[in-house]
Chains A and B, each alone.
Chain A
């Protein structure tokens, strides 16, 4: 049974959209053919094994830490009477507004041997050199993992929290009537039901970690992404770089498929969230523990870095930047907002297509369109150039033939390319979030309206979309914030005189003078906060 079976338009459009989104990835795969074997064997004999080991370790650590941070914090604010939960509920989202490369820069600076913390310790205790005391080395794989997890855990927190809040309380209540304590009912019933959302978030965290370059660079940790950059920019071998990027993507593909398989057999649960949640009462000591845990996350992931930025801004920045920054901020809002809206529309379209069509191939457009997430921004930008430049040339040639004015590089040389890059790169976020939301809508709701004579469109409009609203909002927010923070793709694709907040800050960081960009960095965080605040204002 499937409602949309007789809708060839839907099928065709879904496949076309998915193909358009995956086109750059395909171009990248094709470009990897013919890469030099000698370079690979050189890399394999020298540095590649360490890079691979680092990549696997880093993604494992970051995912574990992000789950360790995200799940308990989501559980605490939704299930317990933790003090100030109305505050913590949204404050735990704040680290999301922090670009990872910025936090990495601030923390390596802070905890380095020459940084203020160790300097203070040496001065206070009269230590002369590194041999006189022990202090953790921030520029290690583990240091990088902690910092990445601190800014990425909100994915886990946000999706888990949304899942828990939308849960059918009757299931928990049924558990309670069968004698389970509130906390046991949560652990045995509530948490397993949130698994799809948790898995999606873990996959997102992993993909984000794998595609990262700037952050690990500050930590002097070399990963496969380092190898991609080396082969491309150092050795000038684009084909080999594409081949490495393809390997990276296959690795991610493997994880994504495994994740899909692991929850394929889950049934749809009904979604009847109720306002009156029975909260687990924490004892005084539990309360203290829970509070320090949650506040640690808020402070380490947001308050400390923003304080550092504000103090820099007060010390160095000149107010003259303000006007320019507002313009740059508007640019950023503009491209990120459009990208988020397109991504969410695509995600809804493709997720509903998958749900309404029973044939096995129906899930493919949704999955295919998410592959871009694992591709590092720079590689994706190169792939986009390779995809659109020929089309642009073709358009110009036609214009010349028709004796029209040449349009120039209207696809590869304008903000179109940037928005397209955002959509390709972050479609996975929107897809994952929206489809996890759809999975929670009971199958029966697809057919009930039909018995009342409602058509497909009416069903979607009046049943699915309203039920999906929370997931859609979350998806929009995530794509928006991620687009705003995205750096390498913009750096490469931007047209003349076009800056976003991230490129603005990066220019200054790369010239070793973040102090002067501190106001810009605060702007990026503030713009990132807007949707977070907006998303939370009418809840509870």
Chain B
């Protein structure tokens, strides 16, 4: 009996000590996606991962917490958030050849403060009844699509980034004219989410919709939503010229991270081939690490040309994009 107790407490102490190291994450990404990754990381390293899932205000929280902040690693869903953290000096550079070797230079900060983990394309979905179409973002303002276009709110970060890329490419005035044209083509006031637009195409309310690539995969693998997705083609816009607009999800290390060693380990893990593979499979995004296979479904949509416009430039034009959306009264 005594032996048992000693054995048990030794075991408990052992497990406590292996879990003594930990890493704290502030995440914009959803639990279902990152939790399996964290679990794998803990299994591999024994480092416990604590998470706060946030949607808004992470940068403010971090800034307020200052040097006492418990946060180590930050995960975001969009380039603007990373740049925001960078601009507020809330990140620190991470020197790791494991990370820099894995991620192409256009998908990380020049000063190594942030890194992309996956890329996602802003696609145009078209109704199958339209047949095969070649589309550019500019075409969305073409009067021939009057009353045939659906989208979510223009103010959603994904759309803001797209508009910002238009500003960078075509200039402010042209983008405003474009937005006004797009607004005229809307079948209904901007509303709902990306999947909702595809559902609306399926229901014959519109012919074209703007949406992120991974939703297509998600719908195809969802019993109820498969019929919506079956009614549309996924188009990669602007293949004849600059290429499709691409956004990223990414990560950075907090400036005052109390567990830098563990944080670095986690970041290195997230760009490792198995983790990137898991990202690609679970969320149907494009892995940034070269040599990691896309999910079979994603691969079936074919190769495409991506806009090479730098992510920093897109983030820089964000506020202008918002102003133009206001001016065009896009959501009203």
- Asked if B204 is at the interface of the complex by the 8 Å CB criterion, the answer is yes
Q: Tell me the bound Cα distance from A511 to B193 in angstroms.
A: 9
Contact A510 B55 (CB under 8 A): yes
- Asked if A279 is at the interface of the complex by the 8 Å CB criterion, the answer is no
Chain A interface residue count: which class?
A: 35 or more
Q: How far is the CB of A173 from chain B (nearest CB, A)?
A: 55
Q: Using Cβ atoms and an 8 Å threshold, which residues of chain B touch A236?
A: 84, 319
Q: Using Cβ atoms and an 8 Å threshold, which residues of chain B touch A235?
A: 319, 322
- Asked if A139 is at the interface of the complex by the 8 Å CB criterion, the answer is yes
Contact A409 B68 (CB under 8 A): yes
Known: A46-B326, A413-B65, A512-B193. A378 touches B56 (CB 8 A): yes
Contact A496 B65 (CB under 8 A): no
Partner of A392, one of B68, B190, B323: B68
- Asked if A523 is at the interface of the complex by the 8 Å CB criterion, the answer is no
Q: Using Cβ atoms and an 8 Å threshold, which residues of chain A touch B50?
A: 496-497
- Asked if A386 is at the interface of the complex by the 8 Å CB criterion, the answer is yes
Q: Using Cβ atoms and an 8 Å threshold, which residues of chain A touch B64?
A: 385-386, 389, 412
Contact A378 B322 (CB under 8 A): no
Contacting residues of chain B (30-53) with chain A, CB-CB under 8 angstroms: 30-32, 50-53
Known: A47-B332, A491-B54, A496-B50. A511 touches B65 (CB 8 A): no
Known: A47-B326, A234-B160. A385 touches B189 (CB 8 A): no
Q: Using Cβ atoms and an 8 Å threshold, which residues of chain B touch A462?
A: none
Contact A393 B53 (CB under 8 A): no
Stretch in B194-202, B237-245, B297-305 touching the partner: B194-202
Contact B155 A230 (CB under 8 A): yes
Contact A381 B57 (CB under 8 A): yes
Partner of B189, one of A139, A408, A497, A498: A139
- Asked if B171 is at the interface of the complex by the 8 Å CB criterion, the answer is no
Contact A46 B327 (CB under 8 A): yes
Known: A128-B204, A130-B205. A393 touches B57 (CB 8 A): no
Q: Tell me the bound Cα distance from A56 to B108 in angstroms.
A: 46
Contact B329 A46 (CB under 8 A): yes
Contact A491 B202 (CB under 8 A): no
- Asked if B331 is at the interface of the complex by the 8 Å CB criterion, the answer is yes
- Asked if A195 is at the interface of the complex by the 8 Å CB criterion, the answer is no
Q: Using Cβ atoms and an 8 Å threshold, which residues of chain A touch B69?
A: 409
Q: How far is the CB of B173 from chain A (nearest CB, A)?
A: 16
- Asked if A2 is at the interface of the complex by the 8 Å CB criterion, the answer is no
Among residues of B, the one whose C-beta sits closest to the C-beta of A118 is B203
Q: Using Cβ atoms and an 8 Å threshold, which residues of chain A touch B188?
A: 113, 139
Partner of A491, one of B56, B190, B191, B322: B56
- Asked if A448 is at the interface of the complex by the 8 Å CB criterion, the answer is no
Q: Tell me the bound Cα distance from A61 to B322 in angstroms.
A: 30
- Asked if B76 is at the interface of the complex by the 8 Å CB criterion, the answer is no
Q: Using Cβ atoms and an 8 Å threshold, which residues of chain B touch A114?
A: 196, 199-200, 202-203, 205
Contact B322 A492 (CB under 8 A): no
Known: A235-B322, A393-B68, A396-B68. A492 touches B54 (CB 8 A): yes
Q: Encode contact with A along B169-195: 1 for CB under 8 Å, 0 otherwise.
A: 000000000000000000011111111
Partner of A113, one of B155, B203, B326, B327: B203
Q: Most chain-A Cβ atoms within 10 A of its Cβ — which of B51, B57, B191, B192? A: B57
Contact A220 B204 (CB under 8 A): no
Q: Tell me the bound Cα distance from A494 to B54 in angstroms.
A: 9
- Asked if A42 is at the interface of the complex by the 8 Å CB criterion, the answer is yes
Q: Using Cβ atoms and an 8 Å threshold, which residues of chain B touch A233?
A: 56-57
Q: How far is the CB of B53 from chain A (nearest CB, A)?
A: 6
Q: Tell me the bound Cα distance from A170 to B253 in angstroms.
A: 71
Among residues of A, the one whose C-beta sits closest to the C-beta of B190 is A220
Q: Tell me the bound Cα distance from A443 to B83 in angstroms.
A: 62
- Asked if A451 is at the interface of the complex by the 8 Å CB criterion, the answer is no
Q: How far is the CB of A230 from chain B (nearest CB, A)?
A: 6
Q: How far is the CB of A497 from chain B (nearest CB, A)?
A: 5
Among residues of A, the one whose C-beta sits closest to the C-beta of B52 is A496
Query: How many residues of B are counted as interface, with CB atoms below 8 angstroms from the partner's CB atoms?
Result: 50
- Asked if A382 is at the interface of the complex by the 8 Å CB criterion, the answer is yes
- Asked if B101 is at the interface of the complex by the 8 Å CB criterion, the answer is no
- Asked if B123 is at the interface of the complex by the 8 Å CB criterion, the answer is no
- Asked if A4 is at the interface of the complex by the 8 Å CB criterion, the answer is no
- Asked if A222 is at the interface of the complex by the 8 Å CB criterion, the answer is yes
Count: A-B pairs, CB below 8 Å: 118
Q: How far is the CB of B283 from chain A (nearest CB, A)?
A: 10
Q: Tell me the bound Cα distance from A61 to B155 in angstroms.
A: 26
Q: Tell me the bound Cα distance from A413 to B61 in angstroms.
A: 10
Contact B31 A507 (CB under 8 A): yes
Partner of B66, one of A119, A389, A496: A389
- Asked if B60 is at the interface of the complex by the 8 Å CB criterion, the answer is yes
- Asked if A503 is at the interface of the complex by the 8 Å CB criterion, the answer is yes
Contacting residues of chain A (361-409) with chain B, CB-CB under 8 angstroms: 378, 381-382, 385-386, 389, 392-393, 396, 406, 408-409
Q: How far is the CB of B147 from chain A (nearest CB, A)?
A: 10
Q: Using Cβ atoms and an 8 Å threshold, which residues of chain A touch B153?
A: 220
Contact B200 A42 (CB under 8 A): no
Q: Tell me the bound Cα distance from A108 to B202 in angstroms.
A: 17
Q: Using Cβ atoms and an 8 Å threshold, which residues of chain B touch A381?
A: 57
Contact A389 B155 (CB under 8 A): no
Contact B56 A406 (CB under 8 A): no
Contacting residues of chain B (138-163) with chain A, CB-CB under 8 angstroms: 153, 155, 160
Q: Tell me the bound Cα distance from A20 to B30 in angstroms.
A: 35
Contacting residues of chain A (464-494) with chain B, CB-CB under 8 angstroms: 488, 491-492, 494
Q: Using Cβ atoms and an 8 Å threshold, which residues of chain A touch B200?
A: 113-114
Q: Using Cβ atoms and an 8 Å threshold, which residues of chain B touch A119?
A: 203
Among residues of A, the one whose C-beta sits closest to the C-beta of B55 is A491
Q: Tell me the bound Cα distance from A409 to B52 in angstroms.
A: 15
Q: How far is the CB of B113 from chain A (nearest CB, A)?
A: 18
- Asked if B247 is at the interface of the complex by the 8 Å CB criterion, the answer is no
Q: Using Cβ atoms and an 8 Å threshold, which residues of chain B touch A128?
A: 204
Known: A128-B204, A491-B56. A406 touches B68 (CB 8 A): yes
Q: Tell me the bound Cα distance from A43 to B50 in angstroms.
A: 40
Contact B53 A234 (CB under 8 A): no
Contact A230 B196 (CB under 8 A): no
Q: How far is the CB of A503 from chain B (nearest CB, A)?
A: 7
Partner of A139, one of B52, B191, B318: B191
Contacting residues of chain B (271-324) with chain A, CB-CB under 8 angstroms: 318-319, 322-323
Contact B51 A497 (CB under 8 A): yes
- Asked if A283 is at the interface of the complex by the 8 Å CB criterion, the answer is no
Among residues of A, the one whose C-beta sits closest to the C-beta of B33 is A511
Q: Encode contact with B along A510-540: 1 for CB under 8 Å, 0 otherwise.
A: 1110000000000000000000000000000
Q: Tell me the bound Cα distance from A236 to B323 in angstroms.
A: 13
Among residues of A, the one whose C-beta sits closest to the C-beta of B228 is A114
- Asked if A7 is at the interface of the complex by the 8 Å CB criterion, the answer is no
Among residues of B, the one whose C-beta sits closest to the C-beta of A495 is B52
Q: Encode contact with B along A38-61: 1 for CB under 8 Å, 0 otherwise.
A: 000011001100100000000000
23 contacts between A and B (CB under 8 A): A42-B323, A46-B323, A46-B326, A46-B327, A47-B326, A50-B329, A113-B200, A139-B191, A220-B190, A222-B331, A230-B322, A234-B319, A236-B319, A238-B60, A378-B56, A378-B57, A382-B57, A409-B70, A492-B57, A496-B52, A507-B53, A510-B55, A512-B195
In the A-B complex, the 5 residue pairs with the smallest Cβ-Cβ separation, listed nearest first, are A220-B191, A496-B50, A389-B64, A46-B326, A114-B203
Extra contacts, 13 of them, besides A385-B64, A511-B32 (Cβ < 8 A), are A50-B332, A108-B192, A122-B203, A139-B188, A230-B155, A234-B318, A382-B57, A385-B61, A393-B67, A408-B68, A409-B69, A492-B56, A512-B194
By a beta-carbon cutoff of 8 Å, the part of chain A in contact with chain B is 42-43, 46-47, 50, 108, 112-114, 119, 122, 128-130, 139, 219-220, 222, 229-230, 233-236, 238, 378, 381-382, 385-386, 389, 392-393, 396, 406, 408-409, 412-413, 488, 491-492, 494-498, 503, 507, 510-512
